[in-house]
Amino acid sequence: MKRSTQILLKTLTWIACLSPFLLLVYQAITNNLGPDPTAKITLTTGYNALLLLIISLAITPLRTLFPRLSWLIKFRRLLGLFAFFYASLHLATYIALYMNFDLSVFKTDITKRRFIIMGFAAWTLLLPLAATSTTWAIRKLGGKRWNRLHKLVYLAAVCGIIHYWWQVKPGVLSPMRLTIALALLLLARPVLTYIKSRKTRAVAVP
């Protein structure tokens, strides 16, 4: 892909990823966050964290299915870091606006409310991935170890989905779309590995 196209796509990705945040800031400044601003910020940041995480997981299967899209790899780190950015804003909103910085309430929540425990697990799993997202960290850890560590992203996404289901009221099906998307991506992994190994064998045996 041409360098100018790459720069254009990166700029568009930055705009797309930042737009939910900028919209929240605009709505906050203009007093347009609705009747429950705290819930609006928490729900928007939580949803976008999970959405970006799942989009970032789609990149590897897409590259395997369509080798011409191998350049997509350059966007995986960006999407993952934006997912972590929204997850951290989500956690910060919870601590600042729900808890009023009262960490004793947070301590109770984190041990007693199962959906908070699951959300915290998802965020904690994302933390080492964000911390080791630099080229320096990849070199330091070595490709194999880095890859193994970054498999945690699947577990983080699963925890995020469970957290989503556990926080909606019974009968509400809003987490279904993201759940189906994640289930397909998890299923795609072994299927694509199998297809890839068959292709390799076919090339090896003339």
To ligand HEM, the closest distance from the beta carbon of 39 in angstroms equals 3
Q: What are phi and psi of 39, to 5 degrees?
A: -65, -40
163 touching ligand HEM, by CB under 6 A: yes
Hey, what are 198's tokens?
Answer: 């068959």
In whole angstroms, give the CA distance from residue 11 to residue 83: 17
Residue entry with tokens 């997850």: 87
47 touching ligand HEM, by CB under 6 A: yes
Site stretch for ligand HEM (CB under 6 A), options 7-15, 127-135, 162-170, 198-206:
162-170
Hey, what are 19's tokens?
Answer: 């737009």
43 touching ligand HEM, by CB under 6 A: yes
Q: Are 148 and 116 in contact (CB under 8 A)?
A: no
Closer of 80 and 119 to ligand HEM (Cβ): 119
Site stretch for ligand HEM (CB under 6 A), options 19-27, 35-43, 131-139, 185-193:
35-43
82 touching ligand HEM, by CB under 6 A: no
Q: Residue 178: which of 61, 78, 89, 49 has the closest Cα?
A: 49
Burial 99-128 (b: 16+ CB within 10 A, else e): beeeeeebeebeeeeeebbbbbbbbebbee
In whole angstroms, give the CA distance from residue 82 to residue 56: 10
DSSP secondary structure letter of residue 97: I
Distance of CA 72 to the CA centre of its chain: 16
Q: Please, which of residues 184-203 interact with ligand HEM by CB under 6 A? A: none
50 touching ligand HEM, by CB under 6 A: yes
Site stretch for ligand HEM (CB under 6 A), options 7-15, 23-31, 90-98, 184-192:
90-98
160 touching ligand HEM, by CB under 6 A: yes
In whole angstroms, give the CA distance from residue 124 to residue 118: 10
123 touching ligand HEM, by CB under 6 A: yes
Site stretch for ligand HEM (CB under 6 A), options 8-16, 74-82, 85-93, 186-194:
85-93
122 touching ligand HEM, by CB under 6 A: yes
Site residues for ligand HEM per CB under 6 A = 39, 42-43, 46-47, 49-50, 53, 87, 90-91, 94, 116, 119-120, 122-123, 160, 163-164, 167, 174
